[in-house]
Amino acid sequence: MTELADATRTTEPAPAGARVGLEGLVRTYGATRALDGFSLAIEPGEFVALLGPSGCGKTTALRVLAGFEQLDSGRVTVDGRDVGKISAQHRDMGMVFQSYSLFPNMNALNNVAFGLRMRHQHAAQRRQKAGELLELVGLSDQAQKYPHQMSGGQQQRVALARALAIEPRVLLLDEPLSALDAKVRAELRDQIRQLQQRLAITTVFVTHDQEEALSMADRVCVMSAGRAEQTATPATLYSRPTTPFVAEFVGVSSRVPVEPVNDTVTLFGESCRVRPSDAGVPTGEVDALLRPEDVTVTLDATAKPFVTHKSFLGAITRVIVQVDGVAVRADVRSDVAADIELGARVRLAVVSRDVLVARRAPARPAPTD
Amino acid sequence: MAALIPDVVEDALVIVEPPSRRRWPRLRVWRAVVLFIAGAYFLIPIYAGLRFSFENDAGHLSLYAVKAIPSEPGFSAAFWLSMRLAVVTLALTLVLMVPTSVYVHLKFPRLRRLLDFVTILPIVIPPIVLILGVLRAAPLWLRASPYLLSLVYVILSMPFVYRSLDAGLSAIDLKTLVEASRSLGGNWLNTLWRVVVPNLRSALLSATVLTLALVLGEFTMASLDLWTTLPVWIYQFQQVDAHVSTAVSMVSLVGTWLLITLIVSLDRSQSRRARRRTKNS
């Protein structure tokens, strides 16, 4: 029985996957620097998400790791060995693509067995293993179906089985859920995470969807302009962002103009410490970045701030309060928010005693969510 | 009612009446006329050729011309030469054009326009100019071989073959398929053979049919290169026996048609088998 099949039958994780190192990667396309000194160390068996807006270089980083892109400079290592000169064919990395990538001329079973065929495994052996993999992704009844006869979700599950069939040292997922509808996406997200944990394969997952990244990954690397802004666990990334970009890209933040004095700022009449940031404390005009859950709202008829919007989100309601021409978002328990009418005068306070500040951004339209 | 509506308004009502009832029959008539003219344009020469093939010198119905074909001097050699040239040309064209088209699509997509232009040149340049140039430039040993014609036919078939392949390659997500194959351990040859080519079946079929039709019907170059291919033999034998010569034309027309039908039906039966396999599973 194969190592992979054994791993799927036990609750204990299999031996950890490979250690991956991306060191100072630079890749340019004409005048554009898609990767600008990008570095990341991935532990064996770890699930790391590369998160960032379009054009931040996350897919380029993944393609460099897969061997589909050449580097201008930098180093890619797998278990300490430089793989820069090794072609994609010999890197032993399973990849699931954003677009449906199953071979249209092969049924699901033959698609999964393709990598094994390239490794010259016997027909019976590869059929058996491909069958096991299809069972693993819950598609053993679809083995004889061709890609055009399967749904998008089924195709991506077959693509996942195909990538796992070669027992890759690293599993690369290039936005595999982006073409799927919300329900299928959530199901497949859970399935990928469960499989990755059972098989303990080092996995790199590229996405622009922060919900996906935060819910699936052990660590998330937020990228911007070809660089890693911050790499941390989802909880740290959300609660302790080290750069203004991360604070605004991950989760929701409100910008409130403040004046720093000796590393402190005054927010809603209370003094708060300025949290040290990777970018240092900016000088000149700055804004405090506040999470909605860090702001409390209390009804006070004598206060100036007033409520402009309310969005019911289940257990909580997001309230937008106008303070001196600035919109501040605050999350309030829905039973408490029921008493807060639109236009009501409220008093705001900050829960956290240290806040992240950033150079003032150009004026933007008021948020409505 | 009519009395209440002034004449002008009544006329207007007639004009805005839905046009379908009045216009459709006229359109159907025109369609039938166009179809009839086009059909006649294609079928009358074939009918005339068939009729002439089944007549003797006295103008009576006879099978003598058809029966005489295999035994006529030079026919067999010309037939097999045309077949050999067709196979060699097809093989050369596909071996040259498939990897080239794939490579351009993958690595140099901007060159597609240039290739479009280059591959159309054989249509613009008259065959007589092309063959005279080739005959002047080719080394003696190659001029002595009939396969020089195959090399020239490769150039002649390029416009059709490239366009078929280009359309086929544009219809698939080539980059992703190739990268998927490479990441699974497939080398370039395996990727081309097992992943790309099977997904270009229709494009390859179309390229094959066009190349075969072109080679089996080409006259000018073969004649100037002094090789008696089937079309050259038909032309030459016309002066000996026009009935037999026309019969060979008809047989070659039907033969080419059968060959194309066979290739297309093979493709269809393969698709049907695949569908049946899926249904049974």
Phi, psi of B241, rounded to the nearest 5 degrees? -150, 105
Nearest to B185 among A103, A115, A143 (CB): A115
For residue range B52-105, what is the model confidence (pLDDT) as tens digits?
Answer: 988 887 878 888 888 888 888 888 999 999 999 999 999 999 999 999 999 999
Altogether, the residues listed in chain B come to a count of 281
A5-14, A66-75, A230-239, A273-282, range with the lowest pLDDT: A5-14
pLDDT at A77: 96
For residue range A215-245, what is the model confidence (pLDDT) as tens digits?
Answer: 999 999 999 999 999 999 999 998 888 888 8
Q: How far is CA A272 from CA A133, A280, A355, B24, B169, in A?
A: 54, 17, 7, 82, 62
For A141, the 3-state DSSP assignment is helix
**CB within 8 Å: A104 and B172:** yes
* pLDDT surpasses 50 at A14: no
For domain A252-359, the CATH class is mainly beta
For residue range B206-253, what is the model confidence (pLDDT) as tens digits?
Answer: 898 889 888 988 999 999 888 999 999 999 988 888 888 999 989 888
Listed in order, the ranges of chain A carrying CATH 2.40.50.100 are: 252-359
Mean pLDDT along residues A134-143: 92
What distance in Å separates residue B187's CA from the closest CA in chain A? 7
Q: Which CATH number fits domain B73-240: 1.10.357.10, 3.40.640.10, 1.10.3720.10, 3.40.605.10?
A: 1.10.3720.10
* Contact status of A104 with chain B (Cβ, < 8 Å): yes
- pLDDT band for position A278 (cuts 50, 70, 90): low
Q: B16 vs A143, which has greater pLDDT?
A: A143
pLDDT at A240: 83
What distance in Å separates residue A118's CA from the closest CA in chain B? 6
A113-127, A241-255, B1-15, B82-96, range with the lowest pLDDT: B1-15
- pLDDT band for position B136 (cuts 50, 70, 90): confident
For residue range B154-174, what is the model confidence (pLDDT) as tens digits?
Answer: 999 999 999 999 999 999 999
A98-102, B105-109, B268-272, range with the lowest pLDDT: B268-272
Residues of chain A positioned with their CB less than 8 A from the CB of B281: 143-145
* Contact status of A146 with chain B (Cβ, < 8 Å): yes
Nearest to A66 among B177, B183, B186 (CB): B183
What distance in Å separates residue A85's CA from the closest CA in chain B? 15
* Contact status of A73 with chain B (Cβ, < 8 Å): no
* pLDDT surpasses 90 at B149: yes
B195 close to A117: Cβ distance less than 8 angstroms: no
Residues of chain A positioned with their CB less than 8 A from the CB of B278: 107, 144-146, 149
pTM comes to 0.78
ipTM for the predicted complex: 0.81
**If you measure CA to CA, which chain B residue comes closest to A149?**
B278
* Contact status of A60 with chain B (Cβ, < 8 Å): no
DSSP structure string for chain B: -TTTS-HHHHHHHHHTS-SHHHHHHHHHHHHHHHHHHHHHHHHHHHHHHHHHHTB-TTS-B-SHHHHHGGGSTTHHHHHHHHHHHHHHHHHHHHHHHHHHHHHHHHH-GGGHHHHHHHHHHHHHS-HHHHHHHHHHHS-HHHHTSTHHHHHHHHHHHHHHHHHHHHHHHHTTTHHHHHHHHHHTT--HHHIIIIIIGGGGHHHHHHHHHHHHHHHHH--HHHHHTT---HHHHHHHHTTT-HHHHHHHHHHHHHHHHHHHHHHHHHHHHHHHHHHHHHHH-
A354 close to A276: Cβ distance less than 8 angstroms: no
For chain B, percent of residues with pLDDT exceeding 70: 87
pLDDT at A2: 44
Note the CATH number of domain A3-92+167-239. Answer: 3.40.50.300
Q: How far apart are CA B187 and CA B118, in angstroms?
A: 30
The pair of three-digit structure tokens given for residue A74, joined into one six-digit string: 């930098």
For residue range A309-339, what is the model confidence (pLDDT) as tens digits?
Answer: 999 999 999 999 999 889 999 999 999 998 8
For residue range B35-64, what is the model confidence (pLDDT) as tens digits?
Answer: 999 999 989 999 999 999 888 878 788 888
Amino acid at A298: T
